[in-house]
Amino acid sequence: MVTSLKQTMDQLAQLVMSDPNIESAFLATLGNMEEVAAREIIKTITHETPPEALVEITQHAQDEHRHAFQLRALKPVKLYSDLKFYAMENELSEIGINFVLGFFGQQLLLKARSASRFAGYVHGALTIEQVPLQMYTAYYKLTKNEAIKKGLAVVLKDEADHLALGRKFYETLSAEARFDIDEINNIEAEMCELLGRRMIQVIEKNLNPAKTETKSLESSLTKSRSRLTTWILALAENENKNARAQNAKVLEDSVLFITGQTKEAFKVDLTPDLTALSDFSPERLHQHMSALASETTLIGVSYALEQAQRGLSLNQASVSL
């Protein structure tokens, strides 16, 4: 995974630096992601926050907020002459923001958060920094724009300090409030790689808009969040029926990324969707999960679908053995 993360980040950086318009859409996206991260950090401050940590956590959020402005200010093109770059910037921002929210919503971080909001913050701070470190570094190495290089160096220095802050706080947590950082880091690396792949896909799609006019089942399912929710629940139920409980769980959990609620909140009749799914051949189901994963802008859902798709492959492999 480490190799493919690096490869994807290099490929993304290569594509980004090929055109100042793409660089601008990308920098705006990073800025928007930083802003959401700043808000998520502030939200972790509660009565459970140790008073001696307050100033540093607030400072951390302020740094991310400042990064948002710094990164946007580095855009080499402020006004695009071609409208397609506005669309690119919007779409990149949407998946970037959903990545940040999806990352903070993943199960292991929720578990840490249930120990205390402070523990949730510490585990998040220790792991989310992989994105800037991997993505910004790959781009930093390749860009020829001196102003961007200088600006990114300042941001990267802060990100390294945030990681050190997370490590310092982690040491102060009680044994019960400490969770496996390596495990969260692995998920983060996979999600980060997925984010990079999706960004490449969005950039390429917007560079050649005519080619990708599709009216597929997958694109219609992603038009409304409530429709996507019931369909994901039906997919999960279908996995249960086929004795793939692990896959069902992963899909059910991902409903949180779509609605902010767990599956218990939904009392819906899944019969029509389950009937439709019963006609799917194993190959069709495989292909459908992959297509839906690349269609939805909700990175947390996309990640769950890719995991379920992998689960299907493993299952098929063990059946044929």
Query: Does residue 237 bind Fe ion (CB under 5 A)?
Result: no
* Contacts of residue 145, Cβ cutoff 8 Å, sequence gap at least 6: 17, 20, 23, 76
Figure out which of the listed residues 75, 123, 162, 244 binds Fe ion, where binding follows CB under 5 A.
Answer: 162
Q: Where in 289-308 is the site for Fe ion (CB under 5 A)?
A: none
CA distance 257 to 97: 12
Query: Does residue 34 bind Fe ion (CB under 5 A)?
Result: yes
3-state secondary structure of 242: coil
- How close are the terminal C-alpha atoms of the chain, in Å? 26
Residue 186: HSE in the Cβ half-sphere, 13 Å Cα cutoff: 5
Query: Does residue 64 bind Fe ion (CB under 5 A)?
Result: yes
In 3D space, the residue among 211, 198, 203 whose CA is nearest the CA of residue 298 turns out to be 198
Figure out which of the listed residues 23, 40, 89, 159 binds Fe ion, where binding follows CB under 5 A.
Answer: 159
Query: Does residue 72 bind Fe ion (CB under 5 A)?
Result: no
Quick one: which segment of 152-160, 182-190, 201-209, 232-240 binds Fe ion (CB under 5 A)? Answer: 152-160
Shortest CB 9 distance to Fe ion, Å: 16
Shortest CB 31 distance to Fe ion, Å: 10
Quick one: which segment of 59-67, 224-232, 249-257, 289-297 binds Fe ion (CB under 5 A)? Answer: 59-67
Are 137 and 195 in contact, with CB atoms under 8 Å apart? Answer: no
CA distance 133 to 128: 9
Calculate helix-pair angle for 117-128, 107-115, nearest 10 degrees. 140
CA distance 126 to 184: 9
Q: Where in 256-275 is the site for Fe ion (CB under 5 A)?
A: none
Are 213 and 221 in contact, with CB atoms under 8 Å apart? Answer: no
Shortest CB 288 distance to Fe ion, Å: 36
Count of residues that interact with Fe ion, criterion CB under 5 A = 5
Q: Where in 110-149 is the site for Fe ion (CB under 5 A)?
A: none
Quick one: which segment of 38-46, 62-70, 214-222, 229-237 binds Fe ion (CB under 5 A)? Answer: 62-70
Quick one: which segment of 33-41, 69-77, 113-121, 261-269 binds Fe ion (CB under 5 A)? Answer: 33-41
Shortest CB 183 distance to Fe ion, Å: 21
In 3D space, the residue among 32, 81, 74, 3 whose CA is nearest the CA of residue 199 turns out to be 32
Which residue type does 62 have?
A: Q
Figure out which of the listed residues 25, 33, 67, 218 binds Fe ion, where binding follows CB under 5 A.
Answer: 67
Q: Of 60 and 113, which CB lies nearer to Fe ion in the complex structure? A: 60
Residues forming contacts to Fe ion in the complex (CB under 5 A) are 34, 64, 67, 159, 162
